[in-house]
Structures are given as structure tokens and as C-alpha cells.
Structure 1
Amino acid sequence: MTENLINANGIELWTEEFGDPEHPPVLLVMGSMSQGILWPEEFVGRLVAGGLRVIRYDHRDTGRSGTVDFDAHPYTWHDIKDDVLRVLDAYELDSAHLVGHSAGGLLAQFVAVESPERVRTLTVIGSSPLGGHEGEVIMRALTGQPQPEGSLPPPAPEFTAHYTKVIMSPPAATRGEQIDRMIAEARVLNGTALPFDEDAERRLAERIFERARDLDAAANHRRAAAADPGFEPEGVLGQVKAPTLVIEGTHEPAKPGHGALIAAEIPGAELLMVPDMGHMLAAQVRDVVADAILAHTARG
């Protein structure tokens, strides 16, 4: 395992590499406002044991990556998307297997559309289809607005109830409050089928808190999205050339049913529904997901 700070067009990005540099590379792209360490070590280790060279990274304004004064140096989700390519460039990789979780899956889809030569295979986990404007669906759910006909399926009631409460609550005032909120969020994202390991989640939340240069800077991702309402092109997933695997849990609370919509739009895409899985890579499903990725990348 090797950690590196790379320069991505003036922004420092923390990256971490595992495995043999001669093995096929896979780049793990985590979701919005999320640090790269949310890709669990056990999951990464299984991919490495299966013969892959694994790279994960912290998005700008998260974890050990650089933070910005957004008012002075604003950016958009196009910049966050281009960071995927900047990581590949820093490692001198012409192409790699891309694996994206949640909003990271959205970024990976966009890269696969725009830069097909850079993507050996595409794996999308717990994500929404590019062009579906999932953020608008969530905001309508949180504000009680009706969903227009043809929009994506809304989040589960427990997801909506939790984030509605978050919006109405004042910011966390202490380290303990912040960590408790992270745990409460993880409990919802875990779904309703699998046991929730609060002790393990607390250790992860404490690690997230301690390694962040500025924990509040992650909120800049929301500002980047607001500054870039046209980020998602519509009707382009049919252009994806990379062999694609779409993974969704049967108890997905955030984007239920969105995986099937992605798979329907990408030619030849395979859909894997993981029993009992929620939005998170919980311990009980990590091996299933990792083994599916190993089989998929071997075919690509």
C-alpha cells in the first residue's frame, strides 16, 4: 500500500495504491462528499488478492485532499468528474477498470461516455442513471413536492424522513455530535435487512473526522452541483462502449430501482441484485460485490 498526493490542476488529491503495479488497474470512485476510505480495506484486499491493482482517492474538499475557498475559487461537478481522469493521468494509466459508488457511479458513467478509450470496464454500485437528475428527485421528496411522471423512483420513506430531519436541524456543534450524525446516516444507508454494526461504524466515523483537513469543506460538493445544473447530459448512456456491470442492493434506500434503469440504457449491461444489501458496502456483502467485480473485470 502506497499513499500519494497528486496535483490535479492545482488541487491536491490524496490517493492510495494497493497491489502489484503490473496487474490490471482498477480505480475506485466514491460518492459525493465521501472520503476514499469508505471503500473498505477488506473489500480492497479481496480485489487485490484476485489480481487487481487498486487505486482509491479522496475527492477534492474531502479527507486528506486539498480544500478551497469556494467563493474565491468555485468549481463544478465537471471538475470533480475530470478529477477521475487526472488520477489516471497521475498514475500514467491510459485506461483502467472504473468502479463507482453512488454519485461516484454517476461520475464513472460520464467518463465512460466522454472518454471511452480510458475505461476498460465499468462497474456502477448503488447509483442512478446519468441524465436522470436524481438530485432533483431527492429534493422533491425532502420538500414534499410531487414527482413528475417519468422521473426516477424516489428514495425510501426512512431515507426521506432522516434527511428531512437533518435539513431542519442546526449544524453539529461538537465532534461528538458530528460523529453521532455520521452514525445515524450510516444506519439509514445500511438498509433494513442487514444488522447494523454501530461499533464498526463509530470507528470509521472517528477516522473520517480525524483525517479530514476540513470536514465542513465537503459541503462544497453541494455548491458545485448548484453551480452546474446542466451537469448531466440526457440520452447518452447508449454511447457507453465499456462492458458494464450494475450492482444494486435489494434494500437500497437512496436510489431504489435505479440500477435496472442504468442497465436498460447501456448496451449489454448486466444487472446484479445483491440480497439484503442497502446503499453501503456492509461487511455481509463485501465478498459478493468484490467477487462480482473480479469476474467482470476478468472478462474485460
Structure 2
Amino acid sequence: MSERYLDANGIRLAYDDFGNAEDPAILLIMGMATQMTAWPLSFCQGLADRGFHVIRFDNRDVGLSEKMLTARIPSTVGMMLRAAINRPLRVSYKLDEMATDAIELMNALNLERAHIVGVSMGGMIGQILTAKHSDRVHSLTSIMSSSGAPHLPRASKKVTRALLKRYLGLVKPSLESTMAFQRLIGSPGFPQSDEELKEKVRAAFQRSFYPPGFARHMAAIMASGSRVDLLKTITTPSLVIHGRDDVLVPLACGIDTARKIPNARLEIIEGMGHNLPESLVPVLTDLTAGHASAVTSSLSLSAASGAA
């Protein structure tokens, strides 16, 4: 790893990049309590090989980016109770602030515009960024994410039970328990070997382990609510990718996201769950690079036509 650091939105963010800095930029935004290293190197390099300058970063409160050490750690039970009775949640930050982190990262890197690619919570952040800063976004790709509409289905009962046990401390984070959870939400059509999964989980634990960030990310999602009205305002070319076998964020969430964004394109991947295994990388690379390339070509044609 060749992490670098910069100040963005008043906090220190860790990032790295791939490819030629003169090429169109793709900004990768990772999901809840997940480090930027969860973006497979093969995916990042594959996009760079297709002519893009790829930047990935650790969100606040995770990985090697700054931890919000003075921020309160929300009670999971308390959050659930307040949400159940429609009481406002007391949180340290919401997804809007995390979207501002991404914009300020772009500013610090002198990126006027970028293609935005977000997975899970990162897709939610990307949606907000695109809606509120359309002049900074060439295209949006939202992967295994959601609009946050309250009527949408939740995670499967088995996944919900597993999450609650982790939240309540009944299952301690460990190599074995994390691998078991990853198996639960993984992609049945794109299986990972024990060696691949173990290496990914072990490397993540060795790089950074910070449970309070998990709680605050979950609180940010819950407190941010629905993005339906925002999505309806997006005019940026958008691609929504979702797995048919996602048991954490069900397929209906991706379908709803694509319906809410005007003219969005929906790609449903058979056998895909809620992870990014190596065997899925070629499919994701083709879809992501293809979408960004088409938009880049269209922009170049428009610019040439305007100059003529």
C-alpha cells in the first residue's frame, strides 16, 4: 500500500490512486465501516487500464482516516427504539457530512469533476454528492445500495440476527466470526475460496480495527433517512448495479433506486450478493468502465461540437 494523507472538510483522510493523473477521474466510495482496501486491487487497476485515474479513500472513522474520537458512540438499542417511535436520532454526523468529505477530497486533489462510484453506504454518499454537486460529477454508479425509502425490504432475518448479535456484543469481532458473516452475505454465484476470504479479513484487521466507527456509520445511515426526493433531481447519467442474491440490501432496493433516478440504467447480476469477490471483478470492471467511458465520450463529442 502507498497511502497518502490530506486534510478535507477539517479531517485527515487516507487515500491512494491508480493510473495517469491526466486521465478522467473515478472516485471510489466504500461502504459502512469498510476500508478502502475492500476495493479489489484488480478492480482499481482494471479501471486504470481502461483509461481512468482511480482514487479510493478511507471514509472518516474507518481505516487510516481520522477517527472521530470525541464524538459520542451511539447505543444501538437506543437508536432502534427511537427509530421505532419516529424520534430524531442523536448522531455525530450524517451522510451529508460524509458526502462533503468526498467533495473536499476532490478539491484537495484539484479534481474539477469525477465519475462517482459507490458501494452500499458509499452508494448512498455518492447519490447525495451527485444530487447536491451535479457540476462536479460526470457520472454516478451506485452498487448494492438503496434510496432509503421506508417501504423497502430489510435484510433477511438470518442476516438481521447476525448483525444484532454483533451490535449487542454477543459475538466478538474476530477472524472467524467476520469470515462467517462475510460468507452469509456473499455471492453464491461468485464464491470465494477460504484462502481468499481469510487473507482479506486478516489484512483488514491488521490494517485497522475500530468498532466505534461501525456504530457511528450505522447511526449516520439511520439518521439520514430517505433520499427519494434527492434522487428525483439527479440529471447526471447514472448506472445502478445490484445482485439478485443480496441478502443484506435486497434487490428491491436497487430496483427502487434506479426507478427514482430519472433515466437511470439498471444492471442486475445473477449470483451476486453483498461483496466484491475477485471472480466478480471482470463483470464489475466492464460495467463500471463501460458506463464511465460512454459518458466521457459523449462529453468529448459535445465539447468538440461546441468548439466547431
| TM value normalised by structure 1 | 0.85
Q: Deviations over 1:157-179 (max 9, x none)?
A: 4322422433454362xxxx522
Q: Does 1:273 align with 2:274?
A: no
- 1:29 is matched with 29
Q: Does 1:132 align with 2:149?
A: yes
Q: Does 1:261 align with 2:256?
A: yes
Output the CA distance in 2 between the equivalents of 1:22 and 1:284.
30
Q: Deviations over 1:137-169 (max 9, x none)?
A: xxxxxxxxxxxxxx1022234322422433454
Q: Does 1:55 align with 2:49?
A: no
The alignment covers a number of residue pairs equal to 276
SS state at 1:188 partner? helix
- 1:144 is matched with none
Judging by fraction of residues, say which structure has more helix: 2
- 1:13 is matched with 13
Structure-2 change in CA distance of 1:225 and 1:263 (3 Å) = closer
1:196 Cα offset (Å): 3.3
1:248 to 242, 246, 256: 242
Q: Does 1:108 align with 2:102?
A: no
Q: Deviations over 1:29-76 (max 9, x none)?
A: 001111111101011111111111100000111111111221399433
Question: How many percent identity over aligned positions?
Answer: 29
Which runs of structure 2 are paired with 1:289-300 in the superposition (5 Å)? 289-300=284-295
- 1:221 is matched with 217
Q: Is the 8 A contact 1:97 1:122 kept in 2?
A: yes
What amino acid is the match of 2:58? D
Q: Deviations over 1:189-248 (max 9, x none)?
A: 21444323222122111211111174544433234456xx25544422121111111001
- 1:282 is matched with 277
1:98 to 97, 116, 135: 116
Unaligned runs of 5+ in 2: 74-90, 296-308
Q: Is the 8 A contact 1:64 1:213 kept in 2?
A: no
Q: Is the 8 A contact 1:78 1:231 kept in 2?
A: no
- 1:141 is matched with none
Unaligned runs of 5+ in 1: 134-150
What amino acid is the match of 1:20? N
Output the CA distance in 2 between the equivalents of 1:294 and 1:194.
20
- 1:136 is matched with none
Q: Is the 8 A contact 2:95 2:224 kept in 1?
A: no
What amino acid is the match of 1:132? A
Runs of 4+ in 1 over 6 A off after TM superposition: none
SS state at 1:277 partner? coil
SS state at 1:65 partner? coil
- 2:45 is matched with 45
Which runs of structure 2 are paired with 1:157-236 in the superposition (5 Å)? 157-170=157-170, 172=172, 178-212=174-208, 214-225=210-221, 229-230=223-224, 232-236=226-230
User: Larger deviation: 65-74 or 101-110?
Assistant: 65-74
Q: Deviations over 1:8-47 (max 9, x none)?
A: 2321100101100111100000011111111010111111
Structure-2 change in CA distance of 1:167 and 1:63 (3 Å) = closer
Output the CA distance in 2 between the equivalents of 1:204 and 1:40.
10
- 1:138 is matched with none
Output the CA distance in 2 between the equivalents of 1:217 and 1:269.
32
SS state at 1:61 partner? coil
SS state at 2:174 partner? helix
Output the CA distance in 2 between the equivalents of 1:10 and 1:206.
31
